[in-house]
Amino acid sequence: MSRDAMLLVDALREPASTCGLDAQGWAALLSMARAERLVGTLAARLASEAVPGRVAQTLADARTDAGYQRRAALWEADCARRALADYDGKVVLLKGTAYVAAGLTAGEGRHIGDLDILVAREDLPQVEAALLAAGWEWVKPDPYDDAYYRDHMHELPPLIHRTRDRMIDVHHTILPLTARRTPDAVGMMVDAVYLPSRLREGLGVGPRSSIAVSGPPPTPPASGRGELCALSQPDMVCHSVAHLLADGELDGGLRNLWDIHCLLSEFAGADFWTQLRERASHHQLAEPVGRAVRLAHQLYGTEIPQDWMGQHWQDRYYAARMTARDGWGRQTRKLLRLAFYIRSHWLRMPPLMLARHLWVKWRKGQASA
Amino acid sequence: MHEFRVQVGPAAFRIGSAWRAPIAQMAELYRDYPHPDFTDFTVRLEPAGWLRRWLRPSVAIGGDYMLPDAAPLPLAQGLLAAEMAMNLQMALGWRRHLLLHASAVERDGRVLVMTGQSGSGKSTLSALLGARGWRFMGDEFVLLDPESGDAVPFPRLISLKNSAIAAMQASAPDARFGPLLDGTPKGDIRHMVPPSDAIARMGQGGAPALLLFPRYGYPGAVREVAPGETFMRLTQASTNYVALGEAGFTALTRFVTSVPSRAIDYQSGEEAVALVEKLWERLA
């Protein structure tokens, strides 16, 4: 495997590895990190390293930006909480917003774009109506896309807020309905834990919180209404893995794998690894979870138990795909990326359906051209 | 990749290009600027499609920070593509200062800031003043230091458009100009190398003393602008006000409460320069 973005992987895994970098090396590292949306994470990791003066300033800029993204993400989550204050069911934060709201290391310096929430599928009409009433509106008012999302996807078509210009993705499960694997979304909702309500002030929480420490989950507030949740520890890892390996083409793979590395390192403990094994097979995600654990270990040096170790002949292609980025921030390994692109569609839907979908999309493209 | 490094004010860029021509043009126009080892941002000029390196070559504007829907430019406008990409890196990535979309000139250590929409004439006006005893500090961005409140220069190449090109060639016959780029999305564009003192002193900031909102093409007039309105207009003119959070709010509050501001209308460069001198005399 050629090196490519291993420079970035090494810097994240072992911050001291950057001490030998020259100006050229730093320029390459920063461009890779920005392209992979990991520059805030890198800046957080290098906070106590001695780096050249200009680099220190660039990293300080990245920390400023990560602080803003964290603030904006928590604010947006709180806006959703208020919009759904009359809704009785659980509202579960996913991905980046969940990590910062729960005070997890995966959230440190993390880039956060859209707000992702998970709600019970049968409650979608109620949740949708509440969000529309609170100022969110549809991004793509296209009947085919709308029907496609509703019939086959794991989320509503994306909504954007009229005045704040921020997107929300409302999920009802974690993989497309047409995907070969069908995780148990209902079980995930049942196990989801309430976040400390300090989030309500839009301030977020300290570096560690109930979800990070082991022990019984916090008792839900009296009614549970108007409080936000996060997935249980093993389910959080399962979702992160589903997002990385069972869906999509591994774009942004290094960042998603870094999330997984942080979650595994923070949750680690004998019970956790057993629970993870159980939950992964329960969600039909045993194989991708096993692979993600191995890849995190191989790339980021995550400490994992002996029985999770091993090597599959395909692992190296995943690693090569994830590090396909050169020192100018350009994507490399075109054929490999194409292969993973085809794979992502293969995983998402059966071949006949894929053919029909591409046909409709192509005709629409022709019509609008 | 053909590579070129340049520092403009406090920011250092690495520009990579699939073609030699844009790099050669930059090396010539930026020859008196520092060429640093360490850089803040990377800019990429790449073929917009796999055939577009050779056949009707077309430049995709790329870099560390990008806009998803940026239209490619023909290779003849490669220099413009590089300039646009450098501006984009600043607008989307710079967090050390509060960034105002404005031009600035300095005299006696005090700074005149001019802001307005594209076409307001702020760029041409700063170039004109730069040729008449003021120190040119920048025609695109003014950087406000959150610590000191000072305006920090960003004296990139001056981007002259349409009728301003001939006007500046007449006003500053000794200046160096880049190639004429005709038929760009903004009409004709020609880059002008800032006066030598602007480059030599690009590390020196100054205290802001007057803010103007110029507007070209209207009969001469001066209006007061209240601090509240100035504040709101500058939040619109800033690319990173929101991202800086409290530091941005503090810096902007300090600016609008300590710097007088006026809106000026004018119909010719001469008229504008006279108006500026008069206001500077009275207010700064």
pLDDT at B146 over 70: yes
Q: What is the pLDDT of residue A107?
A: 97
Residue A18 in contact with partner chain B when CB distance is under 8 A: no
Contact B188/A at CB under 8 A: no
Q: What is the C-alpha to C-alpha distance for residues A192 and B153, in angstroms, rounded to an integer?
A: 52
Residues of chain B in contact with residue A22, where contact means CB-CB under 8 angstroms, are 37
Which B residues 61-80 touch A at CB under 8 Å?
A: 62-65
Report the residue of chain B nearest A23, measured CA to CA.
B38
Nearest chain A residue to B38, by CA? A23
Contacts of B63 in chain A (CB under 8 A): 329
CA atoms within 13 A of residue A131's CA, in its CB half-sphere: 29
CA angle A96, A55, B66 (to 5 degrees): 55
- Taking CA–CA distances from B16, the nearest residue in chain A reads A328
Q: Do A61 and B12 touch (CB under 8 A)?
A: no
**Taking CB atoms and an 8 Å cutoff, what residues of chain B touch A203?**
none
B222 backbone dihedrals φ, ψ, rounded to 5°:
-130, 130
Contact A64 B36 (CB under 8 A): no
Question: Of A20-24, A334-338, B17-21, B228-232, which gets the smallest average pLDDT?
Answer: A334-338
| pLDDT value of position A1 | 47
Are A65 and B42 inside 8 Å of each other by CB? no
Amino acid A214: pLDDT: 44
Chain B residues closer than 8 Å to A31 by CB:
42, 64
Q: Angle CA(A98)–CA(A103)–CA(A108) in degrees, nearest 5?
A: 90
> ∠ CA A295-A32-A304 to the nearest 5 degrees?
20
pLDDT for position A145: 84
Whether residue B16 and residue A328 make contact (CB cut-off 8 A), yes or no, is yes
- Distance of alpha carbon A80 from alpha carbon A94, whole angstroms: 13
Residues 71-90 of A with CB under 8 A from B: 71
The yes/no answer to whether this complex scores an ipTM above 0.90 is: yes
| pLDDT score recorded for residue A149 | 84
Token look-up 């902007």 returns B252
pLDDT of chain A, 369 residues: tens digit per residue: 457 899 999 999 999 999 999 999 999 999 999 999 999 999 999 999 999 999 999 999 999 999 999 999 999 999 999 999 999 999 999 999 999 999 999 999 999 999 999 999 999 999 999 999 999 999 877 888 888 888 888 889 999 999 999 999 999 999 888 888 999 999 999 999 999 865 544 444 444 444 544 444 455 555 556 689 999 999 999 999 999 987 778 888 999 999 999 999 999 988 999 999 999 999 999 999 999 999 999 999 999 999 999 889 999 999 999 999 999 999 998 888 888 888 888 777 777 777 787 788 778 777 665
CB-nearest partner of B93 from A52, A55, A61: A61
* Any A CB within 8 A of B245 CB: yes
pLDDT tens figures, B88-145: 999 999 999 999 999 999 999 999 999 998 778 899 999 999 999 999 999 999 999 9
CB-CB neighbors (< 8 A) of B94 in chain A: 61
Contacting A residues, span 194-223, partner chain B, CB-CB under 8 Å? none
Q: Which of A32, A36, A61 has the most B C-beta neighbours within 10 Å, making it the best mutation to test the interface with B?
A: A61
In terms of CA atoms, which chain A residue is nearest residue B14? A27
For residues A212 and A92, what is the distance between their CA atoms, to the nearest angstrom? 16
Shortest alpha-carbon distance between residue A332 and chain B (Å)? 14
CB–CB of B65 and A34 under 8 A? yes
List chain A domain ranges.
6-368
Cα gap B279→B132, rounded to integer Å: 16
The region, left, alpha or beta by phi > 0 then psi within -120 to 50, assigned to residue A51 is beta
Check CB contact under 8 Å for A54 and B36. yes
B15 touches chain A (CB under 8 A): no
In CATH terms, the fold of domain A6-368 is: Beta Polymerase; domain 2 (3.30.460)
Chain A contact set for B40 (CB, 8 A): 54, 57-58
Residue A23 at interface with chain B, using a CB cutoff of 8 Å: yes
The pairing of strands B187-192 and B98-107 is: unpaired
Residue in A22, A54, A67 closest to B12 by CB = A54
Global pTM value:
0.90
What residue of A is the nearest CA neighbor of B247?
A64
Cβ–Cβ contact A54 with B under 8 A:
yes
pLDDT of residue B157: 97
Alpha-helical segments (H) within chain A: 6-13, 23-35, 39-45, 53-83, 95-101, 124-133, 143-152, 185-191, 233-245, 253-267, 270-282, 286-300, 315-322, 334-348, 351-368
Cα B85 vs. chain centroid, distance in angstroms?
Answer: 13
For chain A positions 306-335, those within 8 Å of chain B (CB to CB) are 328-330
> How much is the pLDDT for A208?
40
Count A/B contacts: CB-CB distance under 8 Å. Answer: 59
Using alpha carbons, select from A291, A281, A337 the residue that is nearest to residue A312: A291
Q: Is A21 on the interface with B (CB under 8 A)?
A: no
B242 shares contact with chain A (CB less than 8 Å): yes
pLDDT of residue A85: 94
